[in-house]
Structure 1
Amino acid sequence: MLEARDVTVRYGRQVVLDRVSLRVEPGRVTGLAGPSGCGKSTLARVLALMLRPSGGSVVLDGQAVGRWRQRAPRAQRTSVALLYQQPRLAADPRLTLTEIIAEPLAAAGRPDPERVAALAAETGLTPDLLTRRPHEVSDGQLQRACVARALVLEPRYLICDEMTTMLDASTQAHLVAVVEAYRERSGAGVLAVSHDDALLDRWAHRRVRLGETELGEAAPAPG
């Protein structure tokens, strides 16, 4: 289980999160809702070990997180993957889509061209797109590469921070289906952060509004 326990985040004197607790269970989709500016993305970054909180703790599969970002142990760092809303801010513009997908494997010293090709195909990227750089593809095509990159090391938890907001309905449905297929075969836990209540109603097993109690069970995503 991935847990935030009484997490507080401050930027100077501004309190962005105040003693927030949340759990992401293996094998299930937790939906996180709330208005703009309430701290959803900040909480996502804390849970992804990208931002050290001012107070509280993060517990990953029973082990408290003591270090953050690149200082976190590799086993913890690679257990959680984060998908951002804006793929152009998350992708190196100098890399081809193949290189973007392969980034985590290269960093881990585990090149695996076959896995990269398989994930590219699963996310709907055709071979002619893989040699292109971010400025040569659409937002939807680049987000497909970012989804493949997030899955390439087989994380135990996947945090989707408004990953479908900028996408057309067809691409949105396809990428949700890719994440769902990964969850079902791997038993990974998913945190789906979204303003889209209809999407969370379809996708999440449990939905939480930031700052409130759990909203109860929602219908699981269609297969």
Structure 2
Amino acid sequence: MSLVADGVTAGYHGRRVLTGASLTVGAGETVGLRGPSGSGKSTLVRVLALLHEPESGHVTVDGERITGVRHRVPAVVRTRIGVLFQSPRAASDPRLTLADLIAEPLRAVRRPRDEIAGRVAELADRAGLTADLLARRPHAVSDGQLQRACLARALAHRPRYLLCDEATAMLDASTQALVASVITAEQEATGMGVLVVSHDPALLARWASRVADLPSGRAPKRLTEPRRHGATH
């Protein structure tokens, strides 16, 4: 079981930002991805998340080659992948309460109301979100509280793969530690594969079992590093 980008070339509005990138995230492993600004790390995440269609190359999910993006991909496939972005505010609908934000992906696939309520309560508890926070909208909570809600949303479908694009970069140390511990616990319980994009070498050394470099305009070079257990920082 694995999530694979195979020879992916991608860009925006005719401007290529990623050329021939290949990367594999296996079940149960944590892969780090690093590279300079502009090297295409976030674009590769969006391609792997089935949110952005590559010009060439392809993504496979558990051996199934994917064609199309977003709702052109069957829900049973696209819900295997969760994403946690760097900016929780850019990734959140300001009109939704935090409870509705967490429930959003479950409502999108028409899960029963009771199931949604139970799952939201479970995830909120794991993310340290109290009832009063769940009733608030994004403008009324801190970045850290909002990112915890976004993490709960990313885990709503019990994904097989979680993609973290600089997901802790804007957080204080205590919130970083909480986010990392929730992800690690989910990984240990379910065998979820995790991709961690970061500029922080110390974080990658603690969290990732192997690290890939993404130099500007080139495919990731795989580097093998000793596995580190735990993800506190």
TM-score category of the 2 structures, normalised to the smaller one: over 0.9
1:47-66 correspondence runs (5 A): 47-66=48-67
Letter in 2 for 1:199: L
Contact 1:206 1:218 in 2 (8 A): yes
The residue number in structure 2 matching 1:217 is 225
Contact 1:101 1:146 in 2 (8 A): yes
| TM-score (ref. length: structure 1) | 0.97
Structure 2 residue corresponding to 1:123, chosen from 120, 127, 142 = 127
Match status 1:161 vs 2:159: no
The residue number in structure 1 matching 2:150 is 146
Q: CA deviation at 1:212?
A: 4.3
Q: CA deviation at 1:115?
A: 1.4
Most deviating of 75-84 and 143-152: 75-84
Structure 1 residue corresponding to 2:210, chosen from 192, 206, 211 = 206
For residues 3 and 146 of structure 1, the distance between their equivalents in structure 2, rounded to whole angstroms, comes to: 24
What runs of 5+ residues in structure 1 fail to find an aligned partner? none
| Offset from partner CA, 1:125-145 (integer Å, 9 cap, x none) | 111111000000000000000
The residue number in structure 2 matching 1:33 is 34
Contact 2:94 2:139 in 1 (8 A): yes
The residue number in structure 2 matching 1:69 is 70
Q: CA deviation at 1:124?
A: 1.0
- Secondary structure of the equivalent of 1:23? strand
- Secondary structure of the equivalent of 1:195? coil
The residue number in structure 2 matching 1:45 is 46
For residues 137 and 219 of structure 1, the distance between their equivalents in structure 2, rounded to whole angstroms, comes to: 36
Letter in 1 for 2:86: Q
Q: CA deviation at 1:14?
A: 2.7
For residues 187 and 225 of structure 2, the distance between their equivalents in structure 1, rounded to whole angstroms, comes to: 18
The residue number in structure 1 matching 2:94 is 93
For residues 176 and 227 of structure 2, the distance between their equivalents in structure 1, rounded to whole angstroms, comes to: 18
> Kindly, what percent of the aligned residue pairs are identical?
54
For residues 221 and 170 of structure 1, the distance between their equivalents in structure 2, rounded to whole angstroms, comes to: 19
- Secondary structure of the equivalent of 1:94? coil
For residues 212 and 193 of structure 1, the distance between their equivalents in structure 2, rounded to whole angstroms, comes to: 12
Question: For this pair of structures, how many residues does the alignment match?
Answer: 223
| Offset from partner CA, 1:58-91 (integer Å, 9 cap, x none) | 1110010012111111111101111110000111
Letter in 2 for 1:214: R
Contact 1:33 1:209 in 2 (8 A): yes
Letter in 1 for 2:34: A
The residue number in structure 2 matching 1:17 is 18
| TM-score (ref. length: structure 2) | 0.93
For residues 118 and 24 of structure 1, the distance between their equivalents in structure 2, rounded to whole angstroms, comes to: 27
- Secondary structure of the equivalent of 2:90? helix
What runs of 5+ residues in structure 2 fail to find an aligned partner? none
The residue number in structure 1 matching 2:189 is 185
